[in-house]
Amino acid sequence: MNDQHPSASGVAENAVFESSAASMTGGPSPLPDLAAGTRTNLASKLRWQGRFKVWGGQLLLAVVIIGGWQWFTAEHWVDPFTYGQPTGIVHRLYTLFRDGTAFGSYPEQILVTLQEAVYGFLIGAAAGILMGVSLGTNRYLSSVISPYIKVVNAIPRIVLGSIFVVAFGFGITGKMLLAAVLVFFVVFFNAFQGVREVDPNVIANARVLGAKPLHIIRHVTLPSAMTWIIASLHTAFGFAIVGALVAEILGSEKGLGLVITTAQGTFDADGVFAVMLTVAVITLVAEFILTRLERRLLAWRPQSRSDAPAI
C-alpha cells in the first residue's frame, strides 16, 4: 500500500504541472510539440547525414576511376591514343563548344539529338502505356496480339534503324521512330505486368459499387500499375538516347551520332568520349526530372523499407 502513494502523488504533480502550463499559455502543454519537433529535427539531420555519405561515396568512386585512368594513361600503361585521357577529353569538349563541328555548332548537335530522343520517348511511352493497359485488362486482345508483339520485339533494332533510314531519309522522323520503338517495349512490358498485378478483389469491389470499366481503369488499374510504369520510364529515356544515336550513326545530317562517326573516322578517341560525357550529363538531368515526377505522382504511396533509388 505504501508503494502506491509516491506513484499517485507523481501523477497528481504531473497533472498540476500540465494544467499550470496550459493556464499560462492559454492552451495545451507545449511539451508534446517540443518532443515532436525534436524528433523531426533529428530525422532531418539523419537524412542529410545519409545523403552526405552517399555523395561522398559517389565522389570518391569518381576520383578513383578518373584519377586511375589519368594516371595509367600518363604512365603509358594504357595507350591514350586508343582509350583517350581525361584531360584530353575535357580539352576536346572545350574545343567542340568553342569551334563547333564541320556541320554546325556543338550545342546545335546536342539539341538535335535531344529533340529526337524526347519526341521518341514521349511517343514510345504513351504507346507503351496505352497498349500495356489495354492488353493487360483484356485477355482476349492480349492472346490475339501477343505473338505479333513478340515477333516485332525479336527484330534487331539495328535492322529497324536501317529500314527507317531508307523509308524516311536522314531527317528527324526515322531517328524519332527508332527511339520510340526502343522505349515502347520497355514501357509496354512493365505496364502490362503492372496491370496484371492489380488485386482482383479491389476490381471486384469497384464493380460491386457500380464503377464502369473506364472508371476502374482510371481510379484502380492505373494508380496500382503506376509504380511499374514510372520504374520503366527511368530506363526508357536512356533507350531513347541510344535509339537516336544509333539512327544518327546509320545516317544523318546533324546530331551527336554524326559527331561520334566523324571522331571515329579520324581515330579521335577523346572526341568519342567527349560526346559520351555529354550524353551522360543529359541522362543524369533527365533522371533527376523523372525522379521528381515520380515523387509527385506517387506521393500517395506509403514508403516501404524496400524502396531504393532507381538504377
Domain residue spans of the chain: 4-71, 84-297
* All cell numbers assigned to 56: 561522398
| Mean pLDDT, range 266-284, rounded to an integer | 92
| Mean pLDDT, range 218-224, rounded to an integer | 80
User: Across the chain, which distance is largest between two alpha carbons, in Å?
Assistant: 98
pLDDT above 80 for 304: no
Task: Convert the pLDDT of each residue in 121-144 to its tens digit.
Answer: 999 999 999 999 889 888 888 889
C-alpha closest to that of 93 among 219, 273, 214, 242 = 273
CA distance 81 to 76: 10
Cα 81 → chain centroid: 34
| Mean pLDDT, range 151-167, rounded to an integer | 87
Residue 20: how many CA atoms within 13 Å on its side-chain side?
6
Q: For position 51, what pLDDT does the model report?
A: 80
pLDDT above 60 for 281: yes
Comparison of pLDDT for 95 and 9, the residue scoring more: 95
pLDDT above 50 for 211: yes
* All cell numbers assigned to 159: 535492322
Task: Convert the pLDDT of each residue in 175-187 to its tens digit.
Answer: 999 999 999 999 9
Task: Convert the pLDDT of each residue in 67-95 to its tens digit.
Answer: 988 899 888 898 888 888 899 999 999 99
Q: For position 2, what pLDDT does the model report?
A: 45
pLDDT band of 157, cuts 50, 70, 90: confident
pTM of the model: 0.77
| Mean pLDDT, range 146-175, rounded to an integer | 88
How much of the chain, in percent, has pLDDT values that exceed 70?
Answer: 83
Give helix 222-250 / helix 172-196 axis angle, nearest 10°: 150
Q: CATH for 84-297, among 3.40.50.300, 1.10.240.10, 1.10.10.60, 1.10.3720.10?
A: 1.10.3720.10
Mean pLDDT of the chain: 82
